[in-house]
Amino acid sequence: MSTDRIIFSRPFRAPGELANLEAVLASDHSHGDGQFTEAASAKLREITGARHALLTTSCTHALELAGLLLQLGPGDEVIVPSFGFTSTATSMAVRGATVVFADIDELGNLDPESVAAAVTPRTKAIVVIHYGGVGADMDRLLEIARSNGLEIIEDTAHGLGGSWRGQRLGTIGTAGTLSFHDTKNVHCGEGGALLLSDDILHARAEIIREKGTNRAHFLRGMVDKYSWQDIGSSYLPSELNAAVLDAQLAAFGEIQAARFRVWDAYAAALPGWAAANDVRLMHVPGDREHTAHLYYLRTPTERRRDDLIDHLRAQGISAPFHYVPLDSSPAGQKLGHTPNPCTRTAEFSSTLLRLPLWPALTDAQIQRVIDAVTSFTV
Ligand SMILES: *Cc1c(COP(=O)(O)O)cnc(C)c1O
């Protein structure tokens, strides 16, 4: 048996990356908002169906930009899933808003009932993560948001190209955010984007993103010089990042097909073993299209999860756990509060592991992972 290590994640190399980078370097223009930013934004609008897409330096910054845009600050409460990435919470806390942790459902997404129970007169927004690129229960979440006058921000770091009941992820709420960190399906090292449908919010977002100036108007020839208009920061990526991103987005179909090959192989091979061992496999309801961002298993106990991770590691396979609950983290305790216990978050966190999933995994490697998993008796 081959024993070369099978790592968990490996960034995709898109065919056009080097040519695009050379073009930027040769142009003497590598600061932001040049031709590759424009080209990549157009591809993002096409893939997501969003009316507006603004490239940012990260998903964390896109979330911060959304917080500035929606004027979230001290005294406001923002509901976030406890089972989530740090950025989802800290991007709100950095503006001085209080993060309120809610629990998740059986898909690992915000549980609408837990959200409804966390709403107070100070609640201003809900940040939804579509975990693993499987859409959250947006019907109920939109209903809660509407009846309480709340905004929904969709953290779509896992969800590029996914949909929920025909609506594309990241375009259902007021704002959607994407990540192009090199562990995500499409990457440029570090990067992100903010998706918006509202023209007025978009006009202000352009200014906040560009140090509070109307440089975007200047670039479009609408004013002959640009000036300080509003608060803002520097959230735009350089053309070097946009050049890599544009090449990756041009290969999006190829990336997704290669990732689905792996995901579908796991989903086809593991059910028998899972049923015999009381293991729950990642599940995608028929009314949503996922993104093959990750493939997870949930064991009956934390002990067996840790044993399975060890068993796989002994065979050279990396299969990490995922989020540590935010509500019990040191910053979560200091900067947030948790009106109701996040019990399913604790259970997901302690029993979940993810299998290697990246486009260039070979059939033999996929089979090795399947054989290693199914040789373990839970
Ligand atoms: C990766 C990730 C982020 C952060 O993305 P960056 O681009 O690294 O800032 C935020 N939320 C979720 C759910 C993520 O997976």
User: What residues line ligand 1, using a CB cutoff of 6 Å?
Assistant: 58-60, 85, 87-88, 129, 155, 157-158, 179, 181, 192
Strands (E), 174-327: 175-179, 192-196, 280-281, 288-289, 296-298
Buried b (16+ CB within 10 A) or exposed e, 302-317: eebbeebbebbeebeb
Q: Which atom of ligand 1 is nearest to the CA of 61?
A: 9
163 torsion bin: left (phi>0), alpha (psi -120 to 50), beta (else): beta
Ligand 1 pocket test, candidate residues 179, 293, 294, 345, most atoms within 8 A of CB:
179
From the list 272, 78, 279, the residue with the least C-alpha distance to 174 is 78
What is the C-alpha separation between 316 and 33, in angstroms, rounded?
Answer: 43
- Token readout for 141 is 């979440």
Are 209 and 127 members of one domain?
yes
Ligand 1 pocket test, candidate residues 92, 134, 155, most atoms within 8 A of CB:
155
CATH number for the domain that contains residue 237: 3.40.640.10
- Token readout for 62 is 């896109």
∠ CA 360-365-370, nearest 5°, is 125
Q: Which atom of ligand 1 is nearest to the CA of 191?
A: 7
Q: What are the CA-CA distances from residue 299 to residues 9, 23, 287, 354, 374 (Å)? A: 22, 49, 26, 11, 13
In-domain check, residue 66:
yes
Last residue of a domain, one of 250, 269, 301: 250
Q: What is the pLDDT along the chain (378 residues), one digit of tens a residue?
A: 556 999 999 999 999 999 999 999 999 999 999 999 999 999 999 999 999 999 999 999 999 999 999 999 999 999 999 999 999 999 999 999 999 999 999 999 999 999 999 999 999 999 999 999 999 999 999 999 999 999 999 999 999 999 999 999 999 999 999 999 999 999 999 999 999 999 999 999 999 999 999 999 999 999 999 999 999 999 999 999 999 999 999 999 999 999 999 999 999 999 999 999 999 999 999 999 999 999 999 999 999 999 999 999 999 999 999 999 999 999 999 999 999 999 999 999 999 999 999 999 999 999 999 999 999 997
Are 37 and 57 members of one domain?
yes
Q: Which atom of ligand 1 is nearest to the CA of 184?
A: 1
DSSP summary character for residue 132: G
- Cβ atoms of 194 and 63 within 8 Å: the answer is no
Ligand 1 midpoint to CA 325 (Å): 15
Ligand 1 midpoint to CA 128 (Å): 12
In-domain check, residue 88:
yes
Q: What are the CA-CA distances from residue 208 to residues 145, 190, 203, 227 (Å)? A: 25, 20, 9, 12
- Cβ atoms of 347 and 316 within 8 Å: the answer is no
CATH number for the domain that contains residue 334: 3.90.1150.10
In-domain check, residue 76:
yes
Are 355 and 304 members of one domain?
yes
What is the C-alpha separation between 205 and 121, in angstroms, rounded?
Answer: 27
Are 202 and 95 members of one domain?
yes
Ligand 1 midpoint to CA 180 (Å): 8
Residue owning the nearest CA to atom 15 of ligand 1: 157
Are 227 and 285 members of one domain?
no
Structure confidence at residue 378 (pLDDT): 75
Are 103 and 207 members of one domain?
yes
In-domain check, residue 172:
yes
Residue owning the nearest CA to atom 14 of ligand 1: 157
Are 143 and 226 members of one domain?
yes
pLDDT in tens, 320-365: 999 999 999 999 999 999 999 999 999 999 999 999 999 999 999 9
Pairing, β 336-337 against β 98-102? parallel
Q: Which residues are catalytic?
A: 184
Structure confidence at residue 3 (pLDDT): 65
Q: What total of structural domains would you count in the chain? A: 2
Last residue of a domain, one of 250, 270, 285: 250
∠ CA 148-111-201, nearest 5°, is 45
- Token readout for 135 is 């859409």
Neighbours of 272 (CB within 10 A): 9
Q: Which atom of ligand 1 is nearest to the CA of 179?
A: 7
Are 243 and 278 members of one domain?
no
Are 95 and 176 members of one domain?
yes
Ligand 1 midpoint to CA 235 (Å): 15
**Is residue 32 within a helix (H) or strand (E), and if so which, with residue range?**
none
Are 230 and 257 members of one domain?
no
Which residue reads 């978050």 in tokens? 345
Ligand 1 midpoint to CA 87 (Å): 6
Are 259 and 199 members of one domain?
no
Q: What are the CA-CA distances from residue 177 to residues 109, 117, 173, 259, 263 (Å)? A: 16, 25, 10, 21, 24
In-domain check, residue 11:
no
In-domain check, residue 356:
yes
Residue owning the nearest CA to atom 8 of ligand 1: 181
Are 256 and 233 members of one domain?
no
Ligand 1 midpoint to CA 353 (Å): 18
Bridge partners of residue 178, in order along the sequence: 193
What is the C-alpha separation between 187 and 42, in angstroms, rounded?
Answer: 16
Which residue range is the domain that position 125 belongs to? 17-250
In-domain check, residue 319:
yes
Last residue of a domain, one of 250, 276, 292: 250
Structure confidence at residue 2 (pLDDT): 55
